[in-house]
Amino acid sequence: MTEVDGAPSVNDVERAAERARAGGDPARWPGKLPVRDRLAVLFDPGTFVEDGLLATAVDAGLPADGVITGVGRVEGRPVAVIAHDFTVKAGSWGELTCEKQIRILERADRDLLPVVYLVDSAGGRLTDQMGFFPGRRGASAIFNLQVRLSGRVPQLCCLHGPSAAGGAYMPAFCDWVGMVDGHASMYLASPRVAEKVTGEKTTPEEMGGAMMHATVSGCGDEVFDEDWEAVAAARLLLSYLPDDFRSPPAARSSRPPERDDWADLVPTDPNTAYDVREVVDRLVDAGTFFEIKARWAEELVTGLARLDGRVVGLVANQPAVRSGAIFVDSADKAARFVSLCDAFNVPLVFLQDVPGFMVGVGVERQGIIRHGAKMITAMASAEVPKFTVVLRKAYAAGYYAMCAPGFEPRAALALPTATIGPMGAQASVNAVYANKIAAIDDDEERAAFVAARTAEQQADINLLRMGSDLVVDAIVEPERLRAELVARLVDADRWTREPGRRHHPISPV
């Protein structure tokens, strides 16, 4: 076919499409998986349908304008994607880059499609600042759509390279962020800009690298060594989440737990540390625990798993780290995770072994009361079925924050090792009788007095008393705990959300 009246030939169009698919020069960015290879990891073979391939086709220097958008299938489910091509102007955003991203997010909003973001962008293209920055179809419209989608469809981000300046908010509005170590970064200003503004000298890794965000800021959920690992993790995470807020997550076939040896796993001594993940391994279907923010605020463990094939969210105190006390960051971690589960109809299981919220001048100045209120508000607002299991100690306001009976869990269960009270018996005696104890000069008399008062306190919070007063619904031997939770989950299968309630977004930490 030849050109007619100035129209391009079929060959012209094909060559432009080939240039767009080829992208820029991948040799300039060693160690990175090409963007179309990332899409091949994400989607079922042959299912990706691309939009806007010929964007800026008349400019050979901007293949597809540096971003790939479209819809493919993940285990047969339609999923929208935004994938930046760092080989094209470092994945920077111009007018049509924004337009393509806005259009696919509008489609996701209209059709309620989950969205995966494969982010690898240096930010706005300053040579096209009037195109990407100020207008109604600029970057602000992208963020507006992300917030509109929040809590309605899953939004997962794989961060393969930089996410700079305003573009750093694209990952921040997502429900999960997996970062590739050594390549991924997030910051509002580069180290060079920060030095000019503040005089501060730093490196990209120190300021906004993957490990910093996964361990210090909490903006990253997990760190991966390779690009494909982050994409594969996002694909796996989608299997735990529904297509949208109207549906429950899909059930799968049941598997027995990895281990079933419970003997002496939870120590009777409230001050002895143990890893609560060992409890999780004995509760959930083998190989199904997908931990969220594992490296951040490690005194609290959160993640998705399957119980007899059903998806549940787990919130567990971690006695192996800072005694499992709740700090500012762990309160935020819990609030965000609970919000995620409630948005997508995932029942919650709270595993309590908590001495309470951390106390002291430092945490008070950080706003522990405010952050604790955020955690409690998220937990109390969650409409999904909630189940509480007291593994060992459940003290003070930490007991409340981990879904105490007053917050209407479907069931409050306890292991025989459980103790529930404002504080431990001995600490309570020392608080109540401090002056009396100090006034007793004889060591033996003082010890006898403390022992007698401690026994009285222990009798008052005796576990049988807790069952008798309906504080707990059942006292369960560890070996029976999984079966007990499974049976109660089955009983909650008919749960539906209360009509007329506003469906909330997932608030950033």
For the chain, the distance separating the N- and C-terminal CA atoms, rounded to the nearest angstrom, is: 57
Give per-residue pLDDT as tens, 467-503: 888 999 999 999 999 999 999 999 999 999 887 665 5
Whole-model pTM: value is 0.92
In sequence order, the 6+-apart residues with CB closer than 8 A to the CB of 416 are 463, 475, 477
Give per-residue pLDDT as tens, 231-264: 999 999 999 999 999 999 999 999 999 999 999 9
Question: How far is residue 15's CA from residue 89's CA, in Å, rounded to a whole number?
Answer: 20
Strand, helix or coil at 78? strand
How large is the average pLDDT for residues 51-61? 78
- Write the secondary structure of 130-169 as one string of H (helix), E (strand) and C (coil): HHHCCCCCCHHHHHHHHHHHCCCCCEEEEEEEEEEHHHHH
In sequence order, the 6+-apart residues with CB closer than 8 A to the CB of 275 are 318, 319, 320
Copy the structure tokens of residue 362: 């430092």
Give per-residue pLDDT as tens, 273-321: 999 999 999 999 999 999 999 999 999 999 999 999 999 999 999 999 9
Model confidence at 7, pLDDT cuts 50, 70, 90, reads low
Which class for 452: exposed (0-12), middle (13-18), buried (19 or more C-beta within 10 A)? exposed
How large is the average pLDDT for residues 211-239? 97
How large is the average pLDDT for residues 227-232? 98
Give per-residue pLDDT as tens, 318-354: 999 999 999 999 999 999 999 999 999 999 999 999 9
Q: What torsion do the CA atoms of 28, 29, 32, 38 make, to the nearest 10 degrees? A: -60
Torsion angles phi and psi, residue 251, rounded to 5:
-80, 155
What are all long-range contacts of 451-458, with beta carbons under 8 Å and residues at least 24 apart?
453/429, 454/425, 454/426, 454/429, 457/421, 457/425, 457/426, 457/428, 457/429, 458/425
The pLDDT of residue 429: 65
Model confidence at 27, pLDDT cuts 50, 70, 90, reads confident
In sequence order, the 6+-apart residues with CB closer than 8 A to the CB of 268 are 392, 417
The pLDDT of residue 277: 98
Copy the structure tokens of residue 302: 């959160």
Model confidence at 1, pLDDT cuts 50, 70, 90, reads very low
Question: How far is residue 343's CA from residue 349's CA, in Å, rounded to a whole number?
Answer: 15
Torsion angles phi and psi, residue 505, rounded to 5:
-75, 170
How large is the average pLDDT for residues 215-243? 98
How large is the average pLDDT for residues 457-463? 74
How large is the average pLDDT for residues 54-60? 73
409 half-sphere exposure, CB direction, 13 A CA radius: 29
Copy the structure tokens of residue 365: 């100045």
Copy the structure tokens of residue 263: 């003997």
Residue 428 reports pLDDT greater than 80:
no
- Given a contact cutoff of 8 angstroms between Cβ atoms, the answer to whether 257 and 482 are in contact is yes
| Cα radius of gyration rounded to whole Å, the chain | 27
Model confidence at 193, pLDDT cuts 50, 70, 90, reads confident
How large is the average pLDDT for residues 368-373? 95
CB atoms within 10 A of CB 500: 5
Of the candidates 484, 375, 75, the residue with the CA atom closest to the CA atom of residue 241: 75
The pLDDT of residue 19: 82
Positions of E strands within 330-464:
348-354, 386-395, 411-414, 419-421
- Given a contact cutoff of 8 angstroms between Cβ atoms, the answer to whether 476 and 414 are in contact is yes
Torsion angles phi and psi, residue 358, rounded to 5:
-65, 145
pLDDT above 90 as % of the chain = 70
Of the candidates 172, 142, 179, 143, the residue with the CA atom closest to the CA atom of residue 158: 179
The pLDDT of residue 402: 98
Amino acid letter for position 430 = N
Question: How far is residue 411's CA from residue 413's CA, in Å, rounded to a whole number?
Answer: 6
Give per-residue pLDDT as tens, 78-123: 999 999 999 999 888 999 999 999 999 999 999 999 999 999 998 8
The pLDDT of residue 403: 98
Residue 461 reports pLDDT greater than 80:
no
- Given a contact cutoff of 8 angstroms between Cβ atoms, the answer to whether 483 and 475 are in contact is no
Model confidence at 4, pLDDT cuts 50, 70, 90, reads low
Strand, helix or coil at 31? coil
Q: What is the mean pLDDT of the chain?
A: 91
